[in-house]
Structure 1
Amino acid sequence: MADDFRASLLAQLIARIAALQATGDQYYPAGLFPSLRWKKALGYRRLDTNGFFTSLIVFTLREMRAHLPAASQVVVDDIATKALAIYPLYQSKSGQATYNFYPPRPKQHFPHGYLLHRTRHFAAPDDLDSTSLAYLSNPRSDAENRWLKAKLQAHANTVKGWAATGPRAFRRKKVYSAWFGERMPIDMDASTLSNGMLWAVRTGLPLNEFDEDSLAFINWTIASGEYRRRPLDVSAYYATAPLIAYHVGRLLAEAELPQLAEARATLRRDLPQLLATAPAFMDKILLASTLLRLGEQPTPLLDPAWSLAELEQRSRGLYFCIAPLLNYYPQTRWLARWRLSQIDWECPAHSLALVAEYVALGGR
C-alpha cells in the first residue's frame, strides 16, 4: 500500500470518526461516541450511552496520532477535547477518581430499554476497564496514579475476598479484580487485566506482588491455550480469541516484560493460523494488528478499490465487549455460555478506529 494511499485512507477514516461523535441530543450527550446493545437472536437492539467506548476511541486515536497526516492530528485533538468534557459524567458517584461504564449520578445503567434499567441488580460498580482507559486516554499525576494503585490493591483477590470462579490455580493468587464494588464478587479477566497492567506499566511505579500475579494470570491465559479453548473462563467480557489476543498484544507491545515471554511466543505461533481461518473481517483486523505489534507482517487485508462506505460496512458487526449476565456468581456461571444470556456491544466509530489503527501500524 503506497504511502500516499495510506495517508489518504487515514485522513478519511479520522474524518468519518469525527462525524460520528455526538453533538448532543435526547439520546447522546455532546462528545460521546454512540454505541449499540445487541441480542440479535431476540430482536433486541438498544441505543447505549456508555462512556467506555468514548475513552477507548480517544486512547486509540491518541496512540496513533504521530502516524497521521498533520490535518488529521488536528481532528484527533478536537475529538479528544470534546470527549474529555464528558468524562466527569462517568466518574464515581462518591467523587473518587474511578470510573463507571454508565453514568452513576443518577444511575443510568442499560438506558433506553424496558427492563434491565429498572433493577439495581444490573447497576454495576466502577470497574478497572473503564478506569484504566480513562487514565490511559487522559494521563494523571503521580499522586493520582499512586492512589489508584492502592485502590486496585484494596479490591484485589486475597484482600477484598476470595475468587470463587475462574481458573482454580489463581483463586489464591493476588490478582486484581475487574470491579471496585464492595458487593461484587472477585472477577479475573485477562483482557481487563491487560488494560490495567498497561496503565500500571506506563505509570513507572514499581511492580508489586499484585502486579506480578496479575501478569502471571495474563501469561497463563495465552500460554496455556485457554484463550482459544475457553475464552469465557479467562476473559468473560471479551470472550473471543481475537479480542483476548488483541488486548494482550497491546500490553506486549508496551515493554519486553519477562513475565509475559511465554505469551509473546505463543501468540507469534498461534496468530498466523487464527488469522488465516478467521471468518469475520474485523476479527482479522484485530489479529493482524496484534501481529504487527509483535513485529510480524500479516497478509494484506485491504483492497485499494474499496470506497470508504464499503470499508465502513465491512467494519460493522464487531461486538467488542459482552455482558455475560449469568457469569457473576458461582451458582449461575455454568449457564454463562448460553448465548442468549449474553448482551453484545458494538460501537461503529470504534470499529473504524481499529481499522485506522491497523493502517497506522503498517497494515495493508
Structure 2
Amino acid sequence: MLPIELLTKIRDLQINSQHSFFYKGLFPSSRVNTVLGLNRPDDNIFFSLSVIYVLQGLVGVLTEEEKVMVKEMEAALLPNLRYYTNKPERNSYNFWQKSKGKHFPNGHVLNKWSKFQLPDDIDTTSLAQMVVGASYQDALKTKRILPHYANLYRCRIKNGHKQLSKYKAYSTWFGKDMPIEFDVCVLCNYLLWLHRYGFEVNENDQDCISLVVETIDESLYFQSAFRSSPEYPKIEIILYHLARLASITPFVDAVKAKLIQDILLVYDHVEHPYAQMLLQSALLKLGVKRNVNRQSILQYVDTYWWFTAGLLSVYSNTQVQRVAPKSMFHFRFVCPAFNYVLVFENMLLNKTK
C-alpha cells in the first residue's frame, strides 16, 4: 500500500456527519474489556488529537496532496475541542466531554456516577495545545498552574516506582482530590510541550526530566511497565514515547545511548508484528536502522490498544496495587485511525531515514 492510499484510509475513518454517536471531525475509538465482555464506542478527544499530532510532525516530508489532506482533517477536528475544555484560567482539556454524564460514554453504569468523571489531565492538555497551536500566553496560563499538581506540593505519590517518589514532578491529573500519579509517557508528552513553547525550565520541570532520565538509566520499565506508565503499560509504547522525546528535545541526551540499547534488546525478542513496527519507528527516530516484516502489520490496526484506563491504578493500598495491573480492572482503548497513522509514520520514516 502506498502512503497516499494509507492516508486516504485514515481520512475516510474521520466522521463526516453528525448523524452518529460521534461528532463530525472525530476519529472513532472504542474501549474494551475482554474479561468482562465489554466493547463500547468512545468519543474521547485524545485519539483524534494524537492522529493530528503525528501527522503535523510529518508535514515536512509529505507531498502537496498529502499536506492538503492533513489540513482538511485538522480543520474538521479542531471545532470539537470546545466540548473538552474545562477551566479557562488554566486552559486545560479533558479526555472526555465535560458535560454531565459524558464520561464513560455509551456506558450503562459508570457514566451515572459523577465520582467516575475524570479530572482534566496534562497529557490531553499538552497534545491539544500543540495541535491547535495555542498562543504562548495561553500556554503560559497552564504552565503557571502546574506546580499545584506536582508531587510533594500537597501530598506524596504512593504508587509507581518507589525510588522516583523523591521527585517534584507533575502528576498526570489536574484533580485537587486525585492521588498523585507518575506516568513516564505522559511526562514525555508534557516535555514535548515544554520544548515546543520554549518555557524556562523550573524546579518541577527539571524533576520531570530527571525522572525520565532515571527511568531510562535504570531501565525501570523492565521491572514493571505498569508502574512506569499506568496509562500506556506496554514496553514498546513506553520506548516509542521515550524515543520520540529523545529525537525532538535535548532533555535525555545523557542517556540516549542507553535508550537505544534497551530498544534494541526488546526489538530482538519481540514477536508481535505491530509492536516490532513501533520499535523500528523508535529506532529510526534515533538514527538506527532495522528491518521489520511488514506483511501482517495492517491486520492488527483494528485490535491493537494504545491506551488503558486502569480503574485501580491511583490507589496505594498494597493489596489493591497487586491486582491493579490485571486486565479485569482495565478498559483498553483502540483507535484504528491512530493505528493506521503509526503505520503511515513508519512508512515515511523508512523512506527518509
Structure 1: 5+ residue stretches without partners:
1-7, 304-309
Note the C-alpha offset of 1:272.
2.2
Contact map agreement 1:250 1:290 (CA 8 A) in 2: yes
Identical aligned pairs, as a percentage?
Answer: 29
Q: Deviations over 1:300-326 (max 9, x none)?
A: 3324xxxxxx75423332110111111
Q: What secondary structure, in the 3-state scheme, does the structure 2 residue paired with 1:41 have?
A: coil
Query: Which amino acid in the other structure matches residue 13 of structure 1?
Result: L
Note the C-alpha offset of 1:260.
4.5
State the match for 2:301 in structure 1.
315
State the match for 2:284 in structure 1.
292
Contact map agreement 1:31 1:79 (CA 8 A) in 2: yes
Note the C-alpha offset of 1:236.
0.4
Contact map agreement 1:288 1:363 (CA 8 A) in 2: no
Cα RMSD, aligned residues only? 1.7
Note the C-alpha offset of 1:222.
2.0
Query: Which amino acid in the other structure matches residue 361 of structure 1?
Result: L
Counterparts of 2:165 and 2:307 in 1: how far apart (Å)? 24
Counterparts of 2:180 and 2:143 in 1: how far apart (Å)? 17
Q: 1:326 aligns with which of 312, 316, 331?
A: 312
Q: Does 1:352 align with 2:340?
A: yes
Query: Which amino acid in the other structure matches residue 279 of structure 2?
Result: L
Note the C-alpha offset of 1:234.
1.2
State the match for 1:341 in structure 2.
329
Counterparts of 2:159 and 2:221 in 1: how far apart (Å)? 16
Counterparts of 1:358 and 1:228 in 2: how far apart (Å)? 24
Q: 1:111 aligns with which of 100, 105, 114?
A: 105
Q: What secondary structure, in the 3-state scheme, does the structure 2 residue paired with 1:330 have?
A: coil
Q: Deviations over 1:14-37 (max 9, x none)?
A: 111110001222310000110011
Q: What secondary structure, in the 3-state scheme, does the structure 2 residue paired with 1:42 have?
A: coil
Q: Does 1:148 align with 2:142?
A: yes
Note the C-alpha offset of 1:95.
6.9
Give the TM-score normalised by the residue count of structure 1.
Answer: 0.91
State the match for 2:132 in structure 1.
138
Contact map agreement 2:273 2:297 (CA 8 A) in 1: no
- Give the ranges of 4+ consecutive aligned residues of structure 1 lying more than 3 Å apart after TM superposition: 93-96
Q: 1:221 aligns with which of 195, 199, 215?
A: 215
Query: Which amino acid in the other structure matches residue 314 of structure 1?
Result: Y
Query: Which amino acid in the other structure matches residue 282 of structure 2?
Result: T
Q: Does 1:18 align with 2:11?
A: yes
Contact map agreement 1:272 1:298 (CA 8 A) in 2: no
- Point out the more displaced range, 90-99 or 61-70: 90-99
Note the C-alpha offset of 1:96.
4.4
Query: Which amino acid in the other structure matches residue 33 of structure 2?
Result: K
Q: What secondary structure, in the 3-state scheme, does the structure 1 residue paired with 2:68 have?
A: helix
Q: What secondary structure, in the 3-state scheme, does the structure 1 residue paired with 2:120 have?
A: coil
Give the count of matched residue pairs.
349
